[in-house]
Chain A
Amino acid sequence: MGLMTLADLKSLASTLDFAREVTVDVEYSEAKQWLAGGAGRKAIGYFPIYTPVELIHATGMLPLGIVGGGNQIEIAHADSRFQSFVCSIVKSTLELGLTDRLKFLSGMVFHSICDPARNLSSVFERNFPGMHIEYIHFPQNFASKSSTVYLESEYRRILDGLEKVAGRKALADDLNRSISLYNRIRATLRSLDKIRVASPQLLSATESWLLTRLGMLIAPEDYIQVLERALAEVPTRSARLKDRIRVIVEGSFCEQPPIGLIECLEEAGCYILDDDFLRGWRWFTSDVPIEGNPLHALAESYADRSVSNGVKHDLREPKAAHMVRNFRETKADAVIFMAAKFCEPALFDYALYRRAFEEQKIPHLFLEFEEKAWIYDRARSEVETFVESLLFD
């Protein structure tokens, strides 16, 4: 780990450098440092897409976003457990476990996002009996009021389990304190997102990704300070608006593209105004209310205060409707649908998106990626060709 500490992060530049280091550290040194900083501290890992991190935080434990091994580890053990037609993030996350890199965690939380991720939670349970493994079944019936009642009870069940691990209860006040803190974080991220749409030359998608991912790897009390300083500095940057097309990127809500690929897309001529990278961390469209029953507030917000995402099969509107809205509101030029290889939900969504692209006459490009890639030549040339076709049409 570098010489930098959180105390040194006084500028956006140093924050981004720090984020670059932390986000490729598959030994999770920052988290381990936090654990060593106090007696009895524990950390709970969580897999994509959305996790109610407040439940973990309110019991005094550190929520840590485990999003696979990226292009930092070789898969040498996990590929005998999961087949070739399964996405990389499932295998690399298991590899992190099988190589003892997750031993410092007291537990992991998985969710009902897709079949491979769900099976992964079973494989974790069997192979790491010392870890507290949780699986959250998120509701899929948005038309029924009973789904919020159900989710509140599900959060209660999860919290009961976390309290046992932590050795302490999380009362309503504890939960509301956590919700307030994470509301502040999310509001700051939303402000940064607004800047990107209005003035994309001030904050790149790469930088936004780094700032977001950082928040999943350090204590939120430290993160909010770093993030608010960044928000103060971004509008003061001077940057010339380049001759690029304005795009929305969707489809990468779980397995993440390597940071180099995001940079490559931008360098190939795109301003990425909005994306669904690390979508779970930017789940809410407004603050979760502070009320007497925080579990209810979180459960209700899941359905009614959240962004559209493919794994929420919300039948109240067509799948691609939010994307079309976003495209028009941001005055984008095109949409890039970028899915991880073998990502079942994204690949299904694409069939419906494609219809919408054609019906709405939205210029679009389909790309596939793998988290473990190092070379992006093909993607670069596809995007460059696409950009040219739009700029010089």
Chain B
Amino acid sequence: MANDQLIMPEPSKGSSPQKVPVAPQKEQKKTEYQGKMHLLQKEMIGRYYDQLTACAEGRGGKAVYMMISGNPVELIQAFDMIPVYPEVNALQLAVKKQSLPFILQAEEMGYSIDNCAYVKADIGMYFGGRKTPFATIPKPDLILCNYVGCNVYLQWFEHLQEYSGAETYNLDIPFCRTESGEPTPEDIAYVVKQLEEVIVVCEKMTGMKFDYKKLQRIVGLSAETGELWSEIKKLTRRRPAPFDAYFDSVTMMAPLYCLRGTEDGLRFFEEAYKEMKEKADRQEGPLPEEKFRFVIEGPPPWPHLRTFRDMFSRWGAVAVASTYSTVGGLWEFGFKHDPQRPLESIAMHMLRWNLTNRSMLQRYQQIKSYVEDWNADALVIHSVKSCRLFSAGQGDMREYFTKDLGIPTLLIESDLEDPRYFAEAQLRNRVDAFFESLEHKRLLAKH
């Protein structure tokens, strides 16, 4: 091996090899605390993806396509069907920097540069053989479109239906639109009626009779999982926060979506809570020093996650709460799945307790609670071009937080899936200017 070759040590190996630069202290610390939970996640999600590949290769299982936000995965688990999440597949592609060729393929087919890139990556992948570095994605047996606010969900699944010819059910969830923000009794009745229809569809497809007690057990697992997730989130109220509620939450989100309602899923969150609680009790955070605490709104730039994270960590800035981590469900404000009322509580989770089916004004209040109860210094709004549900109107959000509430707010733009929309230098400048000004204000306040 030539002497002038630099070899960076791999994170999983313990000591640094000779004749190469030692990794910075903070990197080693981060690797260490992500160890157990991180490995467990890798193992479990690996098994989940193996299941998908097995299904794709005809070795059994019925694939049910769903969206991650507000979904009835418990019902799918009750029929031993396999939940497949095009959103998760798309974001995995982006993280592994493999999304662009699929996006381009979709654009060749007639999709616009202005269409959501999650959809384009997924459609491109669908026609590109469905083989990814992490799994072969099976074609759908059932497309269960849980329409919870995001209108793109409806388009996405309608397209997949036309391409695959698979049986499709639009599970229509009325939006949070009443003055109280609560669903009406008619809304709940409508959703429960549809869930009963979905049960009939699943019975026909699997040849299994619906097992109510089994559903109750699974809903019980979801309830405990959601409770743990809520407790984990509350840990970041402490100073310092034991983990970054945006960049580290991504490790915890995959099991929440792919394994909710399973024993594995519960076991993961028990381990995650244990680890994070220990960190919190040892007063350890993800950074050597926690200088700024911020709330962050919007999906992350998956293709540039590391780079984006560094823009904040160099300022000692830690995210203590994020709205994106509530797309799969909101449990930190008291909601819990109820095994005694399984269908009604699944309906409530879909109607009221996930981010996408809630109005923008409800999101403003959610963020306000985070800023207040999690003691944050600032709000960062990461506006993504692909996702108009999150992004359309975030300028008004900034108005509200800066003018009405006096909370320092930074609004930056990129994309969640398309690697082309990330102006690194510009973003870094904006982030630097923002934290510099916060630092300056702090100094002035001291004197």
A interface residues (Cβ-Cβ under 8 A, vs B): 79-83, 85-86, 90, 112-116, 118-123, 125-127, 135-137, 139-144, 146-147, 149-150, 153-154, 157, 311, 313, 315, 318-319, 341-342, 344-345, 347-352, 354-355
A115 touches B388 (CB 8 A): yes
B162 touches A318 (CB 8 A): yes
How would residues 344 to 373 of chain B score, 1 for a CB under 8 Å from any chain A CB and 0 otherwise?
Answer: 000000000000000111001000000000
Given A140-B147, A144-B193, A350–B393 Cβ distance below 8 Å?
no
Given A83-B395, A126-B400, A127-B396, A141–B388 Cβ distance below 8 Å?
no
Given A144-B194, A345-B155, A126–B174 Cβ distance below 8 Å?
no
B190 touches A115 (CB 8 A): no
A83 touches B186 (CB 8 A): no
Q: Is B338 an interface residue (CB 8 A)?
A: no
Which single member of B111, B115, B360, B383 contacts A123 (CB below 8 Å)?
Answer: B360
29 CB contacts below 8 A, A to B, read A81-B395, A81-B396, A83-B385, A115-B151, A118-B175, A120-B393, A122-B361, A123-B396, A126-B361, A126-B364, A135-B177, A137-B174, A137-B175, A141-B170, A142-B170, A144-B172, A150-B174, A153-B184, A153-B186, A154-B174, A313-B154, A313-B158, A344-B151, A344-B388, A347-B111, A347-B115, A348-B112, A348-B115, A351-B111
A143 touches B170 (CB 8 A): yes
Give the CA-CA distance A313 to B168 in the complex, in Å. 12
Q: Please give me the residue from chain A that is nearest to B394 by CB atom.
A: A83
B155 touches A82 (CB 8 A): no
Q: Is B92 an interface residue (CB 8 A)?
A: no
How would residues 90 to 126 of chain B score, 1 for a CB under 8 Å from any chain A CB and 0 otherwise?
Answer: 0000000000000000100111101110010000000
Which 5 pairs between the two chains have the least Cβ-Cβ distance? A122-B360, A153-B186, A81-B395, A141-B172, A116-B392
B168 touches A315 (CB 8 A): yes
Which single member of B151, B170, B172, B174 contacts A118 (CB below 8 Å)?
Answer: B151
Interface-central residue, A85, A136, A342, by most chain B CB under 10 Å = A85
Given A115-B388, A123-B393, A350–B110 Cβ distance below 8 Å?
yes
Give the CA-CA distance A121 to B393 in the complex, in Å. 10
Interfacial chain A residues near B149, Cβ < 8 Å: 115, 118
Which single member of B155, B187, B190, B391 contacts A313 (CB below 8 Å)?
Answer: B155
A90 touches B392 (CB 8 A): yes
Given A150-B190, A157-B178, A352-B162, A125–B395 Cβ distance below 8 Å?
no
Q: Is B152 an interface residue (CB 8 A)?
A: yes
A115 touches B152 (CB 8 A): yes
Q: Please give me the residue from chain A that is nearest to B362 by CB atom.
A: A122
Q: How far is the CB of A344 from chain B (nearest CB, A)?
A: 6
B residues 137-187 with Cβ under 8 Å of A?
Answer: 147, 149-152, 154-155, 158-159, 161-162, 168-172, 174-175, 177-178, 184, 186-187
Interface-central residue, B109, B360, B383, by most chain A CB under 10 Å = B360
A347 touches B154 (CB 8 A): no
Given A115-B151, A122-B360, A122-B393, A140–B172 Cβ distance below 8 Å?
yes
Q: Is B264 an interface residue (CB 8 A)?
A: no
Given A83-B392, A122-B393, A146–B399 Cβ distance below 8 Å?
no
Q: Please give me the residue from chain A that is nearest to B158 by CB atom.
A: A313
Number of residues of chain B lying within 8 A (CB) of chain A? 54
Give the CA-CA distance A214 to B395 in the complex, in Å. 33
Interfacial chain A residues near B178, Cβ < 8 Å: 157
Interfacial chain A residues near B151, Cβ < 8 Å: 112-115, 118, 311, 344-345
Q: How far is the CB of A202 from chain B (nearest CB, A)?
A: 35
Q: Please give me the residue from chain A that is nearest to B186 by CB atom.
A: A153
B187 touches A150 (CB 8 A): yes
Give the CA-CA distance A345 to B193 in the complex, in Å. 28
* Known pairs A122-B360, A153-B186, A347-B112 / 10 extra A-B pairs, C-beta < 8 Å: A81-B399, A85-B391, A121-B359, A135-B177, A150-B186, A157-B184, A344-B115, A344-B152, A347-B115, A350-B110
Given A153-B184, A347-B112, A140–B396 Cβ distance below 8 Å?
no
A83 touches B391 (CB 8 A): yes
Which single member of A315, A342, A354 contacts B161 (CB below 8 Å)?
Answer: A315
Interfacial chain B residues near A345, Cβ < 8 Å: 151, 155
Q: How far is the CB of A10 from chain B (nearest CB, A)?
A: 45
Give the CA-CA distance A281 to B208 in the complex, in Å. 47
Q: Is B310 an interface residue (CB 8 A)?
A: no
Interfacial chain A residues near B263, Cβ < 8 Å: none
Q: Please give me the residue from chain B that is nearest to A149 by CB atom.
A: B190
Q: Is B231 an interface residue (CB 8 A)?
A: no
A315 touches B170 (CB 8 A): yes
Interfacial chain B residues near A350, Cβ < 8 Å: 110, 112
Give the CA-CA distance A83 to B391 in the complex, in Å. 8
B residues 216-255 with Cβ under 8 Å of A?
Answer: none
Q: Please give me the residue from chain B that is nearest to A315 by CB atom.
A: B168
B361 touches A141 (CB 8 A): no
